[in-house]
């Protein structure tokens, strides 16, 4: 299985928002700078994430993008499904729920033992990805010593 750049960049951007901004909106240029991803490409990815209900946007000078839920409520699987549509190892998994879209029909449908292997692997991946939240990844980033820009934001007190 090879995930597209949309999924990889989408996950990195969502972690960036959770880790560096918390509930505050962040401008796409800041994410682009930190993650070295084109702002135009991020805009495309963010449209999918907004449609999936994972991101919200706010217009204006104090606007930007923010998580639509708490980091512990957003899983890696949700992000991957928003950007990839389906996270499947192969298309010919005969045991996969029909809600998933296949690119092609398998001529050996129901007559191929390898379909059980792919179904088990897909199930394990779904379990793994649904058990990892943005909060988990933020904690891992903290444990790795990755600096958060949230610590350096300007605070104005009157």
Q: What is the pLDDT of residues 25-46, one digit of tens each?
A: 999 999 999 999 999 999 999 9
Residue 49 lies in a domain: yes
Tell me, yes or no, whether 116 lies in a domain.
yes
Asked if the structure places residue 158 within a domain, the reply is no
Domain membership flag for residue 157: no
**114 in any annotated domain:** yes
Our count of domains for the chain comes to 1
Does the pLDDT value for residue 18 go beyond 80?
yes
Local structure of 112: helix, strand or coil: coil
CB within 8 Å of 141: residues ≥ 6 apart: 15, 19, 148
Residue 44 in any domain: the answer is: yes
- Asked if residue 156 belongs to a domain, the reply is no
CATH code, domain with 145: 1.10.10.10
In a domain, 154, yes or no: no
Give 12's pLDDT tier (boundaries 50, 70, 90). very high
CB 59 within 8 A of CB 65: no
Spell out where 19-133 has E strands: 55-58, 64-67
pLDDT of residue 154: 46
> Average pLDDT in the 93-121 region?
71
Question: pTM of the prediction?
Answer: 0.83
pLDDT at 114: 87
The most confident of the ranges 77-81, 87-91, 96-100 is 77-81
pLDDT at position 94 over 80: no
Burial of 88 (0-12, 13-18, 19+ CB in 10 A): buried
Domain limits at 66?
5-149
Contacts of 82 (CB under 8 A, 6+ apart): 10, 48, 49, 51, 52, 54
């Amino acid at each position: 299985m090879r995930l597209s750049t949309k999924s990889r960049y989408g996950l990195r951007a969502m972690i960036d928002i959770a880790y560096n901004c918390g509930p505050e909106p962040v401008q796409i240029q800041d994410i682009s700078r930190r993650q070295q991803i084109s702002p135009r490409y991020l805009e495309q990815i963010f449209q999918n994430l907004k449609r999936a209900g994972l991101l919200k946007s706010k217009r204006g000078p104090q606007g930007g993008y923010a998580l639509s839920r708490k980091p512990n409520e957003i899983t890696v699987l949700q992000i991957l499904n928003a950007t990839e549509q389906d996270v499947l190892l192969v298309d010919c998994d005969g045991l996969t729920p029909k809600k998933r879209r296949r690119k092609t029909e398998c001529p050996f449908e129901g007559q191929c033992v390898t379909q059980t292997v792919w179904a088990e692997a897909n199930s394990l991946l779904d379990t793994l990805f649904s058990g990892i939240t943005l909060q988990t990844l933020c904690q891992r980033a903290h444990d790795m010593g990755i600096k958060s820009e949230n610590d350096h934001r300007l605070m104005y007190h009157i």
